[in-house]
A and B are shown apart, each in its own frame.
Chain A
Amino acid sequence: MSENAQLNEIVGRGYQHGFVTDIESESLPPGLDEDVVRKISAIKREPAFLTEWRLRAYRHWLTLREPEWAHVRVQPINYQDLSYYSAPKAKTDGPKSLDEVDPKLLATYEKLGVPLHERARLAGVAVDAVFDSVSVATTFKDRLEKAGVVFCSFSEAVQKHPDLIERYLGSIVPHTDNYYACLNSAVFSDGSFVYIPKGVRCPMELSTYFRINAAKTGQFERTLIIADEGSHVSYLEGCTAPMRDENQLHAAVVELVALEHAEIKYSTVQNWYPGDENGVGGIYNFVTKRGECRGRNSKISWTQVETGSAITWKYPSCVLRGENSVGEFYSVALANHRQQADTGTKMIHIGANTRSTIVSKGISAGHGQNTYRGLVKILPTASGARNFTQCDSLLMGGDCGAHTFPYVEVKNPTATVEHEASTSRISEDQLFYCLQRGIAEEDAVNMIVNGFCKSVFKELPMEFAVEAQNLLAVSLEGSVG
């Protein structure tokens, strides 16, 4: 088979998670105004401070305009056409155990490969699954409670730990931050909440699966992770959505707080529906993720594998405030067919001797447009700060694009910042070498692409690394050539 044909076959393989689960859901009618914001807050039985916070965000959102600086083309979004709340209909207020969860829903998660239930036990992973807007099940609560770890849905945290919510919500991503974060602050429906107490090493990986199921809804979840002094947590996040011809909006906010000597490792395998090969449908993934290393010697590490979404607009960032704190960002972003990705990171060095590492691998195929956009900012207080950035792009096919827009801003002469990048197609020598060894062309391309991404995959927890590798192979099916 010719190189082109092989590539086309690899790229052309379909989206595996495009099914729709036929589950009755309760939704608010489309439209957004202060009443909708109040209604969401009322459904969630939120305290007054949170309702007020949402309303402040909504009023501020009305004054903002959608950002236009990203290297993506977005079809206009009619925000009044979306439903801002959709929840699977439940007989009781909420499932008390997995037995009470709609079996169809569990079947969905099985199809997705979410390790819920027994599978979760085998995998040793605690899962919080968010379906459309509502968290439906959280596993391994007891074991986590014994360790003192709080891992629950955001709504539950609002009821049980309002003090923590009031103290930390919006402290990293304020409601005024940007257009989509502001919208999220007004209408967020659920999400995950994690609190790791002082000195505790979370006994297992925590994981959340996000799923958009209902049509004409947006998903606006909010994740807040607080790692108290000397604690450690590894958190995994996965996302899928059904195949629909319309574009659906996903505008999430993730806030991480690492206090002294704490460490947070946040891994994402994003596989929202990317649209078909002509660019019809797909998720608009406009996400704000930011972590703050607030205490000395703290560490936040972001690892992401972005293979889905029609458009990705996402810059997981680290604010390195504490002395000697460390920020890391490892990313593989794939843009195939008509996908567009504008993703990268921001490393803001405030404390002395702070260090950051950025490794970004972009793969463009078909008509995909992949952009790395990253800011490294060294403030005058960050003496001895250090950054190393490497961002490489791989082009597969003549109609795709790979772009690199780094920003290096240094205001302290004792800092050292290094940035290097390269863009090229798959090396013909490497391919030839593999073919000479009798390896099929498709396998050879997969092997080369995996080698290209290896420095990122090795940062992922084991089970995610395997999934990410397979996902990449599936997403690239048909793109060899």
Chain B
Amino acid sequence: MTASSTTAPARAPTNRDENWKYANLRALSRISFEATAADRRADPIAVALPARTTACRLVLIDGEYSAINSDALPNGAELRIDTGSATAESASVDHYYLNLNRRGRRETLRLRVLEGQRVQLEILHVATHVGQPAIEVQIDSSAELTLIERYISLDTATAVTNLALDLRLAEHAKLYLARWQHYASPASHIETLNLVLGASSECDLTQVTSAEHSETAVSSRSTVFVTHAGEGARLHWHSATIADGQQQHDAYVRIDHQARRVQTQQVFRGIASGRSKIGFNGHMLVGSSAHGAHSGQSLKTLLAGTEAEANVRPQLEIYTNEVTATHGATVGKLDADMLFYLLSRGLDPGTAESLLKWAFVSDVLTRLPTVELRHQIEARLVLQLPGAIAARQSSAQETAG
């Protein structure tokens, strides 16, 4: 990410900016980030938290580290918390919210996984009001980190999160990153991710975006920059978005291939019900030095609501001929043949549809790095796809019989 304090800071994005064409900017423009300073808590609070998905959990409440709720860090990892804002600003319109975070953040969490170590961690973000979390993760060479990031809100007024997440992988490092956004109360979520992959490093990123109830007013925008900086780096990207009611989720993911023999596999699955809107813009950039790069994209969206909307943009920008790049994108309804097959097996239409939706997002769910997390996510999603449990059970019984 380029940052320079000498250039003019970025202006706020508009829907005329290509990468923000489908973002819910009206909701974002109403947010006041100044609230962070005014609402600073005097004392740490203890909150009721969901069950752990890993042995060690760090908790951030409105972007601030909560020692009282957090566990001690396991061996092989270091944590440093620097207070104060950051100054370097970027002129790119895509960094507008990152600039706001830099100006408004109160502390920066710096996590480091030491060379050759293997660490599992959960970072739980609790949003109560307005928070601008800033996290920087450095994974040293040959180290391995399983990081689970969860975003929840306490059942209060509209929560606002403006996250800046910076991840750097040294050579031969491995990162299993699972991100789960699951707000139970009205929330606006904006994030800017920067992921740099060193030589022969590997990142397996799985992301699930959903909300507790269909009527929960949630709006999210994700701006992601991935750079394949070292030869032979690999990225597996799997994300699923399940939107209902009037929820709006939009993501711009730019994956920049700048080294030889790097690989990217990107899978996106979206289900838009009710009057919700889903936008996904996957931008693959293959530079002239990225000989032997391989990139594949599969972006699929199901429209399940009469007024739902999906906007998908699989983009390829290629400057070398030593490359194999493919992409496929579909938007549509459930496959009629599949539905017919299930109905002919005696399933009722509701259950059959839910089962197919479940199968649709399974491409992503099966990639989750820990069983505990997968069970928790499935338990929540199953409430949003009613009938799926029954369908799963009945199909399991059929198989057993």
Contacts and interface: CB of A to CB of B under 8 A. Distances in A.
Contact of A420 (B318, B321, B324, B327): B327
A135 interface: no
Contacts of B313: 405-408
Interface of A: 69, 71, 378, 380, 393, 395-425
Interface residues of B, number: 34
Contacts of A399: 288
A380 B277 CA distance: 13
B315 A404 contact: yes
Contacts of A401: 317-319
A418 B330 contact: yes
A393 B330 contact: no
Interface in B291-347: 301, 303-333
12 contacts: A378-B331, A380-B307, A405-B317, A406-B314, A406-B329, A407-B313, A411-B309, A413-B303, A413-B333, A418-B329, A420-B328, A421-B314
Given A403-B317, A409-B310, A418-B332, 20 more contacts: A393-B316, A395-B318, A395-B323, A397-B321, A398-B321, A400-B319, A400-B321, A401-B318, A404-B315, A406-B314, A408-B311, A409-B309, A413-B333, A416-B330, A416-B333, A417-B331, A421-B326, A423-B325, A424-B323, A424-B325
Contacts of A408: 310-313, 329, 331
B18 interface: yes
Contacts of B18: 69
Contacts of A407: 311, 313
A71 B318 CA distance: 12
Contacts of B310: 408-410
Contacts of B316: 393, 402-404, 421, 423
A412 B315 CA distance: 23
A1 B310 CA distance: 52
Nearest to A414: B333
**Per DSSP, are chain B's interface residues mostly helix, strand or loop, or mixed?**
strand
A398 B331 contact: no
A408 B311 CA distance: 5
A378 B314 CA distance: 17
A415 B311 contact: no
A403 B304 contact: no
B294 to A, nearest CB: 10
A419 B323 contact: no
Contacts of B325: 422-424
Contacts of A406: 313-315, 329
Given A399-B288, A406-B329, A424-B324, A419 B314 contact: yes
A410 B322 contact: no
The 3 A-B pairs of least Cβ separation, nearest first, read A395-B321, A416-B332, A413-B303
B181 to A, nearest CB: 23
Contacts of B331: 378, 408, 410, 415-417
A299 B323 CA distance: 37
B330 A419 contact: yes
Given A395-B323, A397-B321, A422-B326, A415 B315 contact: no
A398 B288 contact: yes
Contacts of B314: 404, 406, 419, 421
A423 B257 CA distance: 15
A423 B326 contact: yes
B303 A410 contact: yes
Contacts of B305: 413
Nearest to B321: A395
A404 B330 contact: no
B341 to A, nearest CB: 18
B24 to A, nearest CB: 15
Nearest to A412: B303
